[in-house]
Structure 1
């Protein structure tokens, strides 16, 4: 498979621009196409029968955008320079027009040729900027807003030019043409700066990435390396004050680490030998050697950045209607503009100049971009705010679904409870050596990622080792974990060992050898301190809570009673869990919160799967929402931010629809001249983006 190509493309202003490039690349046979106008990213995978990379770049450039090459000099004609030139030449024309309206006449401004000379640079600049984009969008089959701006500004200029050549000074309004182009450039500039505010989460996370690291060579020598050189398995030296270079495990030493930028956890965390650390976190005190487990896009930081970047790719259903309207918006507006002119001039006997002004006003006041911007800007800000609180969300559609969740199903062990189990008592069968049993339990459970297994390994470690040395280790082969049942393995003599939950007991585990009982363990677990507050919050939002567990009836009922959960299911196998999730999902949107390997199918089956960061990799891959710090306090936060994000999208779409529904008829009836129309249009996008930015700071 050919590698994924990543390009930076300048000139994209809204979702319609991104859609145009996406459509072009897909039509050329490229795969995995992803275009983000906010981050200026274009990604795709070449295939053998598709166009070459250079042809793809050339095609994007022909569409009116600019593929930024490495070490390429910045384009001289930036948006800022175009706006400055436009403003310098537009102000005299606009000032002369305003003074004339107030009864103050400047003699030289009555000269049509002088007005033409002042307007011409603005017209050439505007026609080049908007005309190039307009023609490219038409050729691509997706006419954009620039078509309307180009038509409006050009119509005003051409009509004024005809009036100048014919000596009909009453037909001259160069200030209208210049003002249309300049005001829209002003709006684009403000919009560009505002859109940048929606992507600050990416910038903040990007700053966490280190540029250099210290690698410990096999000889013990420490050498400096650049970040791209770091590979899995490397041993790195990390000192106090450093940012952790990559995800990994502490190989030697200990430290106090600040993970707040990644997990939202405000308090420093003490890390010791064997603990996992996250790349980008800050070492407050101590030092350690790090064995690298993941770098780049496979790291937690890389995944966070990637999820934020791709969040808008998966559009919420609420955006579908806006997309359909945007696709036909420009042709409809052009038709309304033409009809406005024909009816005004031929039916209502309005003067030609006024009829033309009304038609131009219709063109420049309409704004399809506001509808295209409503969802991606809000999603980008919402996903960024979630990431800053240690919550990863996979896609914009996830936000909408989770905001409408009516049922939340919790796994018990490790989700509502701490997952740290304490062995209350071990009953050894007569004639069985305790040391052998302890070693068997240790050797079997060390192959599992289940919370019970981790606790047992930790407890048994003290029983089977002395001063770091194993006492009587047992060699087991073919060690396997069966979901919902337990572990099994075989020794050198062919004996089969099985260790898992008992059939009748409560909170008990049984170790068997060839079917004969060797020992019975009684274990207990504790409820997480934040679990009750989480359940109470869900109740306040009329969201039903369920507990779904493979544990025994009495144990599950005890936890449910302590948390105030009315509905619970105990002693459920993975297949039964799937059936329950499927039934609840049919009744209402249902989320599943879990962490164990046996929860992965249920997480995938639910409307939304929520996984804790200390979960198994299978559970994380199956979930759409990941709580990085494994704290249930983040669940109400995730629900609240998703709800407010969807509310922001609805508000922005309402504004975009209402603006066009009200503004276009007003312009058609002559209540707004083209200059006011251009001003209102320029700022309609800013209103939508500003509403998204408000989500970044509002109290939730």
Structure 2
């Protein structure tokens, strides 16, 4: 099936000159040996470079298509899977199934994805039986493609703990198949059945119950949102007024001071107490609402009314400013990705109309005025202008565009008016893919982030227990005053809240992703940022990474009275059916139009080259071994570059030398990465590999490698490295997919808008500038440093105040400051990542 797809899709019209399917597909077979595949161009490039470029740029696309049919992806939701241990057992058993190639079980979302080869129905039945055996109450729901995605903005969601509760409750709704909640951007994305009704209302009810001030906005519809009046300020003023009245009554010794004190407490703290009670009903006992409610209520119960009221007042003030800080941080991050176009100008007759970019169809002509964002990808059909692509690539220099040149959505039109023919719908456009990638990056959490989440779940019950023991053990065992120790226990609870960690750490990682995108570096998750910070080994492909991938004819050598024009002409005709850059460079150098009707009996010889009749002359075009086996007078050259040998009617006509150019930034990039162990992998022969390595300053290089050899070389490095060390691989995102997947971080030099690069890699450098690797490592290091600072800052300050509280040296208001104050500092510290 793969063979048929390959030939029918790529060569049916081109290779219609008596060559078989076998010949077509064999020449594209990525399992071919070096001699078989790359000998067609004199062993200048291996399958990794020559064939991966010469043939595999056709094949890899087909390979993915074939794989998508032969190796399907089964997606299931395991509804009700709440046991992490059972999830691990399920994962282990499914991995061992014969038909399973790869799988991933996301315990947070309960989504199971299985890449398999075989009978789908049989696998579904096996998986369901396996899951039911381990977890009888878990329901397995198969994704049949009937689901749609809905996106919501949770405006005003500043509580990380509440976000976690919303995520858990909404994901357990029967209608919800899959869920992603991005706290850093306040967005909620769900998959539901197409026929689902009232899901927005259900989500709104859940959010309102947990966080009454948070507004659920359906991003699929334009909505005018009215700003709700914030009553917190008014409540604070009234609470302070009653608190003052209580002090006055207490001074006058009327005995009724408790009434204004209680009113003050209820006014400022009723929402916290209410949320705490609701959470207890749901079994969510241990959170910041519970800690504050129990601590302040203990103070009120002991008659320390001002202390209990001040706890609530300071906590509310701190939460208010913490919310403002989080909102400010979100805006800072969002401003870095402010590339989404608000509208598109479409030409209808003689008029220009503003419409939603999502309503534009392929082939429509849009008008982009100076100062407007390019809304969709397309080709300029009229006008000239300069584009600011900084938001996409991080480059400060404008890019000049004219007719027949491509423009990418997300760019800013600086000066001229241009008309563009749309080549991609909004959903497939560059800007849409970049935004989707960055917005979903938070779902791939760093290990530190996951550890802190687990730590918070264990930590809070433990500190509640310690607070309880602090309140009762000294009075019971050492005959101490109960009221004194209850107050100390309550103070202990107040300062113990883990908000600073729960909020600031995901915020820091997302800020790191935002800072990367500002520099034209797309990182698919905080987990990759963390791995980047441990970089030790850097492995690079050559073609398209260290070099431009722009092949040019460098020299034509002729023999036996053939002219350069004749050699070039016959080679161009022989190579005219290929889409590889080497073949294209020969055709481009020929410059004349090729009449393919005069090409007869065209045949690709597996791993050797091409035979064809051109103007009734037998043309052989390929590597030296191929030509030398067919004729006797061929002469091999030692020149560096890719060599294509040509014979005409069994007479050696000559050879063509084709060379690639080294990128201007390669030397500087390699020099900046001198602290890493750098290795270059290439399919080129030794002399060519050495020439490139010497020019860019790389000492370690491997040559004449097939794709499998490249994977083996990376595997060797992975086996020798320490656990905390990371290996980065840099390739073009298409030809090096197996190695990109195997490395700790696969980095694609995919170029702006390269769909294949975005799919293949963990990190994409949008403008192919190798210097961005050092920049990404710097951002990762700063992110990790700030994460560690926030962990140390939060835990050390809290620990000190806890000790002081135990010995009665910390008043409760200091404990509140130790909680919300530390959270504020941590959020502000997280935003320093954006300044790199």
TM range (shorter): 0.7 to 0.9
Which ranges of structure 1 fall in alignment gaps of 5 or more residues?
A: 98-104, 160-170, 465-469
Match of 1:58 among 205, 208, 214: 205
Which ranges of structure 2 fall in alignment gaps of 5 or more residues?
A: 1-144, 626-635
Match of 2:746 among 585, 609, 625: 609
Match of 2:191 among 26, 42, 45: 45
Cα shift readout 1:192-246 (whole Å, capped 9, x = no counterpart): 12212332355325643333322245x6765443323223332222344332122
**Conserved in 2, the CA contact under 8 Å of 1:477 and 1:491?**
yes
Q: For the residues of structure 2 that align with 1:692 and 1:481, how far apart are their CA atoms?
A: 58
Q: TM-score, normalised by structure 2?
A: 0.71
Q: For the residues of structure 2 that align with 1:178 and 1:368, how far apart are their CA atoms?
A: 22
The Cα shift of 1:24 comes to 2.3
**Conserved in 1, the CA contact under 8 Å of 2:379 and 2:421?**
yes
Q: For the residues of structure 2 that align with 1:596 and 1:281, how far apart are their CA atoms?
A: 23
**Conserved in 2, the CA contact under 8 Å of 1:508 and 1:523?**
yes
Q: For the residues of structure 1 that align with 2:608 and 2:401, how far apart are their CA atoms?
A: 30
**Conserved in 2, the CA contact under 8 Å of 1:444 and 1:487?**
no
Q: For the residues of structure 2 that align with 1:111 and 1:501, how far apart are their CA atoms?
A: 106
Number of the residue aligned with 1:398? 528
**Conserved in 2, the CA contact under 8 Å of 1:255 and 1:285?**
yes
Number of the residue aligned with 1:590? 727
1:547 equivalent to 2:692? Answer no
1:440 equivalent to 2:573? Answer yes
Number of the residue aligned with 1:531? 666
Q: For the residues of structure 2 that align with 1:479 and 1:251, how far apart are their CA atoms?
A: 37
**Conserved in 2, the CA contact under 8 Å of 1:474 and 1:491?**
no
1:204 equivalent to 2:335? Answer yes
More moved, 265-274 vs 432-441: 432-441
Cα shift readout 1:432-466 (whole Å, capped 9, x = no counterpart): 95675365367435x34x5x566556x43x712xx
The correspondence of residues 415-434 of structure 1 with structure 2, limited to 5 A, is 415-427=545-557, 433=566
1:86 equivalent to 2:236? Answer yes
Match of 1:339 among 462, 465, 469: 469
Match of 2:496 among 348, 366, 388: 366
Q: For the residues of structure 1 that align with 2:714 and 2:649, how far apart are their CA atoms?
A: 34
SS at match of 1:46: strand
**Conserved in 1, the CA contact under 8 Å of 2:337 and 2:517?**
no
**Conserved in 2, the CA contact under 8 Å of 1:477 and 1:489?**
no
The Cα shift of 1:642 comes to 0.8
Distance 1:336 1:247, change over 3 A: same
Q: For the residues of structure 1 that align with 2:792 and 2:336, how far apart are their CA atoms?
A: 32
Number of the residue aligned with 2:46? none
Q: TM-score, normalised by structure 1?
A: 0.84
Number of the residue aligned with 2:288? 145
Match of 2:807 among 658, 669, 693: 669
Distance 1:305 1:617, change over 3 A: closer
Distance 1:490 1:133, change over 3 A: farther
**Conserved in 2, the CA contact under 8 Å of 1:507 and 1:524?**
yes
Number of the residue aligned with 1:135? 278
Q: For the residues of structure 2 that align with 1:481 and 1:284, how far apart are their CA atoms?
A: 49
The Cα shift of 1:558 comes to 0.9
Match of 1:573 among 696, 706, 709: 706
The correspondence of residues 176-255 of structure 1 with structure 2, limited to 5 A, is 176-200=307-331, 202-205=333-336, 207-216=338-347, 222-255=352-385
Q: For the residues of structure 2 that align with 1:24 and 1:481, how far apart are their CA atoms?
A: 60
Cα shift readout 1:471-502 (whole Å, capped 9, x = no counterpart): 5355999999999x899899999999997776
Cα RMSD for the two superposed structures:
3.8
More moved, 495-504 vs 630-639: 495-504
Cα shift readout 1:93-132 (whole Å, capped 9, x = no counterpart): 37986xxxxxxx8865754534532551542442224531
**Conserved in 2, the CA contact under 8 Å of 1:239 and 1:287?**
yes
Q: For the residues of structure 2 that align with 1:680 and 1:537, how far apart are their CA atoms?
A: 42
Q: For the residues of structure 2 that align with 1:480 and 1:358, how far apart are their CA atoms?
A: 88
Match of 2:415 among 285, 310, 313: 285
Q: For the residues of structure 1 that align with 2:350 and 2:364, how far apart are their CA atoms?
A: 12
Match of 1:3 among 148, 157, 163: 148
Cα shift readout 1:66-95 (whole Å, capped 9, x = no counterpart): 5524647657463xx314422452377379
Q: For the residues of structure 2 that align with 1:261 and 1:481, how far apart are their CA atoms?
A: 45
Number of the residue aligned with 1:167? none
Distance 1:578 1:402, change over 3 A: same
Q: How many residues align?
A: 663
